[in-house]
Amino acid sequence: MHKATHFFTSSIGKKVIMAVTGLILIGFVIGHLIGNLQIFAAPEVINSYAHFLQSMGPGLWAVRLFLLAALVLHVWAAVQLTIENRKARPRGYDYDHTIQASYASRTMRWSGFIVLAFLLFHLAHFTVRIGPYDKYNEMTATITHQGQQIEVLDVHSMMVIGFQSPLVSLFYIVAIGLLSIHLSHGIASMFQSVGLLTNRWRNGLANAAIAISVLYFIGNALIPLSVLFGWVDIQNPSLIASL
């Protein structure tokens, strides 16, 4: 018990927590993007994928709670380390450090809060479907599952209708842009936090982090932009007839 307490209160422990939870969250957002990119395939593809996730039942909520715990620990460690760094940093050094810091590192805190707001909105929008989004519960489509035709939530149409709102799409793109900036700094910081970042491959890792973040942003931004420009549209016949 004493060792666990010491781990959570030490700077090294907090850095390890931040790095490990950061790795978990990076894996999630990349996996989430891969899943969402299925919107460019036939509607049955992403609807079947969504049905598979929903069929996990309690297992899916266990994963969600695990990711939520990782996010809470990540934010907690970040706040604690920021407070410790400010207490330990001389005032004269503060100015020079700000000049030398990258834009990504100086906006980590604010981008983190905006991304958190986006995640809450995203959950209300597509997962919990509360408020004006409860109408999505009525959107169903037919898929082939184990040789049978079954009715499932029409996630393809849900995404299209959601992103047909310019404000929703703009908010999504801005939040994803901030998350991408967060990633560009966070990937390198993750290695630095646990002492694995050396001068030998510092530049290479920084360039790889930027490349991953740019690709991540483009992949996500293409989804709402394709809906707004009409490249991806509703294909559910019964839903089209009711619009």
pLDDT for position 99: 37
pTM of the model: 0.80
153 within 8 A of 54, measured Cβ to Cβ: yes
14-18, 22-26, 36-40, 236-240: segment of lowest average pLDDT = 236-240
Structure tokens at 242: 């009711």
Pure H helices in the chain: 2-9, 11-36, 43-54, 58-88, 91-100, 103-106, 108-122, 155-163, 166-193, 202-228, 237-242
pLDDT at 184 over 60: yes
Structure tokens at 66: 């695990």
pLDDT band at 35 (very low <50, low <70, confident <90, very high): very high
Quote the number of domains for the chain.
1
Measured CA to CA, the distance from residue 131 to residue 119 in angstroms comes to: 16
* Domain span including residue 216: 2-242
Average pLDDT of the segment spanning 58-82: 85
**CATH number, domain containing residue 230:** 1.20.1300.10
For residue range 119-139, list pLDDT tens digits in order: 666 666 566 555 455 566 678
